[in-house]
Chain A
Amino acid sequence: MGNLIKYEFRKTWIIKAIILVFTAIFELLFLAGTFSKNEDIQATGIIFLVLTTLCALFIIGIYGIFRLHKDITTKQSYMLFMTPHNSYTILGAKLIENAGSILLAGVFYMVLALIDITFLAAYNGEIVEALDLINEILGEHYSIDTYRFIMISFDMITVWIFNIVTGFFAVTISASVLNGKKGSGIISFILYLFITGFIEKLHNFIMDCFTSADMIGFTTGRMVYNLIYYIGFTVVMYVITAWIMDNKLSV
Chain B
Amino acid sequence: MLESIEVTKKFVGKTAVDGITMQLEPGHIYAMLGPNGSGKTTWMKMAAGLIKPTSGQIRYMGQPISVETKNDIAYMSTEPYFYDWMTVGDVGKYYADFFKDFSMDKYDYLLEKMELLKKLKVKSLSSGMMAKLKVAVTMARDAKVYMLDEPLNGIDLLARDSVMNMILMSADEGKTLLISSHLVEELESVVDKAIFIKNSKFAGIYDVEALRTEDNMSLADKYRQVFSDVDMGGIQ
Interface positions of A (Cβ within 8 A of B): 3, 6-7, 10-11, 75-79, 81-86, 179-181, 247, 250-251
Instruction: Give, as a whole number of angstroms, the nearest-CB distance from A80 to chain B.
Output: 10
Bound: A75/B48 CA distance, A: 15
Distance to closest chain B CB from A84 (angstroms): 4
**Can you list, as one digit per residue, whether each of B38-58 has a CB less than 8 Å from chain A (1) or not (0)?**
000000010011111000000
Task: Say whether B196 faces chain A, with CB atoms less than 8 Å apart.
Answer: no
* Chain B residues closer than 8 Å to A85, beta-carbon distance: 67, 98
Could you tell me which residues of chain B, from 90 to 111, have a CB within 8 Å of some CB in chain A?
A: 94, 97-99
Contact A250:B94 (CB < 8 A) given known A11-B83, A82-B75: no
**Chain B contact residues: over half helix, strand or loop, or mixed?**
loop
Q: Which of B18-76 contact A (CB under 8 A)?
A: 45, 48-52, 67-68, 70-71, 75
- In whole angstroms, what is the CA distance A10 to B85 when docked? 9
Complex alpha-carbon distance, A180 and B50, angstroms = 18
Report if A83-B98 is in contact (Cβ < 8 Å); known contacts: A75-B77, A251-B51. Answer: yes
How many contacts between A and B, using CB within 8 angstroms?
55
- Report the interface size for chain B: residues with CB under 8 A from the other chain: 24
Give the CA-CA distance A87 to B183 in the complex, in Å. 35
User: Do residues B83 and A78 form an inter-chain contact, with CB atoms below 8 A?
Assistant: no
A82 touches B70 (CB 8 A): yes
Residue pair A250, B80 in contact (C-beta under 8 Å): no
Which partner residue on chain A sits nearest B98 by CB separation? A83
**What distance in Å separates the Cβ of A160 from its nearest Cβ neighbour in chain B?**
27
Contacts of B45 in A (CB 8 A): 250-251
Interface pair A84/B68, CB less than 8 Å apart: yes
Provide the residues of chain B in CB contact with A179, threshold 8 Å. Answer: 12
Q: Is the CB of A3 within 8 A of B97?
A: yes
- For the complex formed, measure the closest distance between the CB of B106 and the CB atoms of chain A, giving whole angstroms: 18
